Amino acid sequence: MSRLVKEQLKKEVAAMNQFPGFRPGLVVLQVGDRDDSNLYISMKLKAAAEIGINANHIRLPETATEDEVLQRIVAVNENPAVHGLIVQLPLDSINPMNTEKVTNAVAPEKDVDGLTSINAGKLSRGDLGDCFIPCTPNGCMELISQTGVSVMGKNAVVIGRSKIVGAPMHDLLLWNHATVTTCHSKTLDLAEQVGRADILVVGAGRAEMVKGEWVKEGAVVIDCGINHIPDSSKASGKRVVGDVHYPSAIERAGYITPVPGGVGPMTVAMLMKNTVESAKRFLQKYTPGKWNIEYTKKNPLEPQPSDAEISCSCQSKPIGQLAREVGLFSEEVEPYGRSRAKIRLDALKPLSSINSFYVTVTRITSTPLGEGKCTTTLGLAQALGAHLNINTFACVQEPSPGSFFGARGIAVGGGYSQIIPLEEVCLRPCIYILQALFDLLVPLKKGQRSVSPAQLNRLKKLGIEKSDPLTRTEIRRFVQLDIDPDTDSGSLENEIMAILSLSSSEEEMQQRLAKIVVATNKSGDPVTTEDLVCVGPLAMLLKDALKPVLMQTVEGTPVFLHTSPLADIAQGSPSILADKLALKMVGSGGFVVTESGHGADIGLEKFFNIKCRYSGLRPDVVVIVATVHSLKMHGGVQAGLPLPKEYSQENLKQLERGCCHLKRQVENAQAFGLPVIVAVNKFSGDTEAELELVCGQARQAGAFDAVQCTNWSEGGAGALALAEAVQRAAKQPGQFSFLYDTQIPAADKLRTVAQKMYGAKDIALSPKSKEKLALYTKQGFGNLPVCIAKTHLSLSNDPMLKGVPTNFMLPITDIKANVGAGFLCCLTESVSFILLYL
């Protein structure tokens, strides 16, 4: 009879070939090496192979601890290729094992043995279609069914009350409409009870306890017992019998199962049936390459609440749930509270070829009113994910203190396109580097700083008359060696942040840290952190900071926040690790939406020429964010003055003049060979004529498309047009190229960026800059990319010049070799290292 069940299951498994590469998966977890367990497991593995189930046997030694067993169970629970998990009992370990705890650790949806309390509870409640039934009782029901005897209305007697057979057998017969009596070894009138049974199921574990004369004439007898009794005729000296005396019972029963060969094979067949059923349930929710993720589409309120009020009104998913939804395993996730977690770098391995789409979001040159670049990044990700059902990750920078306390929001989005919960977004989750170094050098012991005599002398030399607490400036002076102001005027903290952002592994981070130039010796050679033998402690401090932070948007879209390198003296974008991990998680056809700092002339240029050069990643689409009021300012409207709100010819003229700036930024993005989409963030004061003018001007400038966005007030729904445009653009064949070859002289690289991105006539190198370039070229750093630090408020170095300045010289006043980060930081006349690091 079990053979017929297995033949049917084999056909059902073959029908799953419509899902390429898919097979039902089963894991048998064993502790110890008991002979009887090995025999049962071999039977299960053989049956699985016959049906086409991919079965694996995990054997832990008898020295395994309960924690080790639980860890293995969690790993199997989270493996989407496994649909059934069997914990072979008994757990043969020399260490204490709580069997109930271990069996309940199996995910109910993979508990094909039906032994977890959740499945047992559902069975006792009658939820037969929403649970897995233990295999032996299920097999008994199948055997009864094959006799042709209807269970409904029959008197059924179950002897035994174990969790594996007796108790679930009672529930199963009851919910199939039998009148059920449960008996056991202490039942006084056992023979009388058996004599009334139309259906008798025995699982007491006592050899031949039920006598044939007890059995009702014509009854169906299912014997679940397996016992050994002495038999001198057998080579082993014993034979297997059931709980029913078979020779006498067969004379009265209408049907009786033999032992062995009766219930045992059907139990194995039911185990296979449960595994196939689990795989079917998985396929009902499974779409190849798609996350099984829950999104929360919001209904915006009017008038719109504040960002904080919106955040408080949104219930974020537990971070563990979000991690599972996007395919992360528990051992890859380090929760920090309910709504935030760091992701271990093991999640990046193995990293196969990337077939997902990579979108970068930038903006026009910034104005005091802001453009909403981060808000658009998150809104676009929500539109692609929650509304178009495409695997999508957003990657943004961690907010810095300036973005929290400045006038333009919190730099983690806004309105209905923001990261939640707001109160759990740290100012700098990656830790303050200098503070961490100070804690390492001067550790706290019983609440007091342990300051050595040598350290006290150093503080005195610096004119600091105290040892604790120190201000941030005092800590910087204490930690940094001010060896030579001409060659060491940069900030260790900012270069380390850039290193974190540009490293793809712990090994690469350590290599970059070793290259940090802290001084130049008398022979003109660079002195590095490796020379000072401090790379090890630095790497130890930064190991945890290298892990991206996982959070979510208002609508439940996953977001990585990681690193906050400045956008002027560094590349100003989320980390390479965050982008690579996100690209892996979304899979083939998914989207990763990342941001670049400042405008297309600064942030996007550095994103391509620095970040993409080191990551090896090539974006598919560029999105430029613009607003009507910002373009009016580039057209001549002064900051701080009321912007015209009513439609007028003069109003449109101002806007049209400002659109020349948009045209320039579109051309800047196109210089890298990618399709460009302009996203126009719509404000309540914008008129339809103004919005149409901006979109029309963008298309005339060569943009692939230009669309209006209302994601601040409507969430992902307000960025649907943008998402659809991005989808179309991503399918276009791109011919990405860098702006310059790093092998050309550094001065030529600077000139290329200044002329092609800013529209400068030429560069003007100060004597100090020329001296620095000569030194760095001699030291072998001349082939590094360049990072120009200039004002983000203008295409030129003058923050007061809006629109498209022309015929200006770009003065390069100083240069710092950030060798660890991998670029030459070049300052213009409007920026100094001292001001940047205050």
Residues with active-site annotation? 44
Residue 546 and residue 364: Cα distance in Å, rounded?
A: 30
Q: Which structure tokens are listed for 633? A: 């300012």
CB-CB contact of 740 with 726 (8 Å): no
Going by C-beta distance under 8 Å and a sequence separation of 6 or more, which residues neighbour residue 695?
678, 680, 706, 707, 708
Quick one: residue 52, left, alpha or beta (phi over 0 = left, psi -120 to 50 = alpha)? left
Strand ranges in 160-219 using DSSP code E only, listed in sequence order: 179-183, 199-202
Residue 566 and residue 835: Cα distance in Å, rounded?
A: 13
Helix, strand, or coil here: 552? strand
Residue 478 and residue 492: Cα distance in Å, rounded?
A: 13
CB-CB contact of 776 with 817 (8 Å): yes
The partner residues of 333 in beta bridges, in order of sequence, read 343
Quick one: residue 463, left, alpha or beta (phi over 0 = left, psi -120 to 50 = alpha)? left
CB-CB contact of 663 with 701 (8 Å): yes
Cβ burial of 65 (10 Å; 0-12, 13-18, 19+) is middle
Q: Quickly list H helices, 113-238.
A: 117-125, 135-146, 166-175, 190-195
Residue 390 and residue 359: Cα distance in Å, rounded?
A: 14
Residue 424 and residue 319: Cα distance in Å, rounded?
A: 12
Compute the C-alpha angle 69/73/75, nearest 5°: 115
Cβ burial of 416 (10 Å; 0-12, 13-18, 19+) is buried
**Residue-level length of the chain:** 838
C-beta atoms surrounding 337 within 10 Å: 9
CB-CB contact of 256 with 201 (8 Å): no
Q: Which structure tokens are listed for 591? A: 């989207």
Q: At what angle do helices 166-175 and 135-146 cross, to 10 degrees?
A: 50
Helix, strand, or coil here: 625? strand
Going by C-beta distance under 8 Å and a sequence separation of 6 or more, which residues neighbour residue 169?
136, 137, 140, 158, 160, 201, 203
Strand ranges in 584-719 using DSSP code E only, listed in sequence order: 591-595, 621-627, 676-681, 705-709
Cβ burial of 113 (10 Å; 0-12, 13-18, 19+) is buried
Q: Give the containing element (helix H, strand E) for 571.
A: none
Which residue's entry shows tokens 């999104």?
A: 295
CA dihedral 701, 706, 712, 714 (to 10 degrees): 170
Helix, strand, or coil here: 88? coil
729, 722, 707: which is closest to 381 by C-alpha? 722
Residue 352 and residue 354: Cα distance in Å, rounded?
A: 6
Q: Which structure tokens are listed for 363? A: 């903006």
CB-CB contact of 500 with 509 (8 Å): yes
Would you give the DSSP letter of residue 386? I
CB-CB contact of 137 with 172 (8 Å): yes
